[in-house]
Structure 1
Amino acid sequence: MFFVVCAFIALMYSCASQSAIQGGPKDEKPPTLLNSKPINKSLNFNEKKIALNFDEFLQLKSVQQKFVMSPPIKENPQIINKGKSVIISFKDSLLPNTTYNLNFSDAIADLNEGNSINDFHFCFSTGSVIDSLMISGKVLNAITLKPEKNMFVMLYTDTLDSTPIKQVPYYIGKTNDNGDFK
């Protein structure tokens, strides 16, 4: 009887194939924006908060260094992630009849693999129209003629040569890895 029990246990143990769980293919897709409140390119925005809702859990990568708001406001908005959402809270008042562009660069990424959304922008207006005028270009190093990444490009309302020292820019852009801005 002892032999039969041992044989049964050995048979049952050998039936199970022991190996590590595979888990499927590696996630290589960045998060996708499902919806937002308000929607992108909203008009007559007068709230203190924006919620961006994505299809997967998120992390924010160096958001304080990568985030650019144009035109800038006196006090930077608070940006936090809550699960699958990014919440932007404005402490400062927004200008009336102004189009704002929020550029996150590649700061929004999925939690597990760290896949970033490249050049993520969100736009809204405090007035009844979105200012559709756009300036775009490329920044090159003057000596090497190679693209310059992470450079700020600023637009001022005044044309005096001392303006960059005395005024805050009205719009700010940041170049991507190819030196492009818009």
Structure 2
Amino acid sequence: MTRSIVLAGMILVCGCAEPRPPTGGPRDETPPQLVSVDPAHESVNVPPTTQLKLTFSEYVNQASFVRALSITPAPQGRLRMRWRRRSVTIQFAEPLRDSTTYVATLDDEFRDWQGVRLTRPLSFAFATGPVIDQGRLYGRVIDPTKGKPVAGLPVLVFNPGEEVNGIPAYQTQTDSDGQFGLRNVRESDFFILGLQDANRNLIADDGEQFAVPPNPLIKATPDTIEQLLDWVYTKVDTVRPVIERVRATSNRLVEV
């Protein structure tokens, strides 16, 4: 079964002190970009013993990289990371699954060395078999009380019948326009939940706001059109009902 998990606490970071470029000049307000990744996006027949190498457009905050990274399905054991200037090499503790599509995502926790965050998630995929999953999912989350998009909202994707308060099959995040898109997922039906998740525990805690699509199940296919159906952003109703009026309508009936 495909699984996803935020990998903070499961990563061993190696290398010297975090490097920084010389100071001076105008302040950089551009988020870091993924310049290259090896194996390349949507590569197939990737060896299960492969390592990932990511190179960014600028120096980044390494601790934020650890917090922002998620991989689907979750690899076994702890990840080992080696940094060299603007590049990081990720080594897996155990061989990856055979004939499996892996999706790596960096959410808006990721920022450069000056603290500039991503405005939309960065993702790439590869497969350890000859075929890579091509399913797609799209959506947009709107706060009806403000009439504005909800940015930076975690989006959790579950297999039908799975416990919602469990580890999702996939995950991503809304961008600055409240939109999200998932590619390279299995062609299947999914239940999708947008969740505030302030403590990043992947659980719908009391008081956390959430959003769900108009239909309970969304089908991911390669032909899925980018239909940005609005999701309503709300919170769980925890207010108990209160009796406002009681009236006897006969000697045997009471209206409440």
The reply to whether residue 154 of structure 1 matches residue 164 of structure 2 is: no
Contact 1:69–1:100 under 8 Å retained in 2: yes
Q: Which amino acid is 2:172 matched to?
A: G
* Contact 2:68–2:110 under 8 Å retained in 1: no
1:138-166 C-alpha deviation (Å, 9 max, x unpaired): 3456888863743341231xx33xx2279
> 2:38 and 2:25 mapped to 1: Cα distance?
33
In proportion to residue count, which structure has more helix? 1
| Segment drifting more, 142-151 vs 102-111 | 142-151
TM-score, length of structure 2 as denominator length: 0.49
Local SS of the residue matching 2:90: strand
- Asked if 2 retains the 8 angstrom alpha-carbon contact of 1:48 and 1:91, the reply is no
- 1:41 maps to 2:42: yes
SS at match of 2:67: helix
> Equivalent residue for 2:6?
none
Residue from 55, 60, 63 that aligns with 2:62 = 60
Quickly say closer, same or farther: Cα 1:176–1:60, change in 2 above 3 A: farther
Equivalent residues in 2 for 1:71-150 (5 A)?
71-75=73-77, 77-79=79-81, 81-111=83-113, 113-118=114-119, 119-139=121-141, 147=150, 149-150=152-153
Q: How far apart are 1:71 and its partner, in Å?
A: 2.5
The CA distance in 1 between the partners of 2:170 and 2:115, in whole Å, is 29
Q: Which has the higher strand share?
A: 2
Please give the alpha-carbon distance, in whole angstroms, between the structure 1 residues aligned to 2:153 and 2:94.
26
Structure 2: segments with no counterpart, 5+ residues: 1-22, 182-256
Deviates more, 1:26-35 or 1:130-139: 26-35
- The aligned counterpart of 1:30 is 31
Distance 1:177 1:77 in 2: 30
The alignment of Structure 1 onto Structure 2 pairs a total of residues equal to 156
Counterpart contact for 1:30–1:116, Cα < 8 Å? yes
Q: Do 2:140 and 2:180's aligned partners in 1 also have CA atoms closer than 8 Å?
A: yes
- State the percentage of identical aligned residues: 27
Contact 2:108 2:152 in 1 (8 A): no
Q: Which runs of 5+ in 1 are unaligned?
A: 1-21
For the structure 1 residues 108 and 136, does the alpha-carbon distance in structure 2 shift closer, same or farther, using more than 3 Å as the test? same
From the CA coordinates, give the structure whose radius of gyration is larger.
1
Displacement of 1:171: 2.4
TM-score, scaled relative to structure 1: 0.65
Query: What SS does the corresponding residue of 2:61 show, helix, strand or coil?
Result: strand
| Greater length-normalized contact order (CA 8 Å, ≥ 6 residues apart) | 1
Distance 1:76 1:141 in 2: 38
Say whether residues 1:164 and 2:166 are aligned partners.
no
| Alpha-carbon offset, residue 68 of structure 1 | 1.9
Distance of 1:30 and 1:42 partners within structure 2: 26
Supply the AA of the counterpart residue of 2:153: N
| Cα distance change on mapping 1:26 and 1:48 into 2, 3 Å | same
**Corresponding residue SS for 1:110:** coil
Give, as a single letter, the amino acid of the residue that structure 2 aligns with 1:26: R
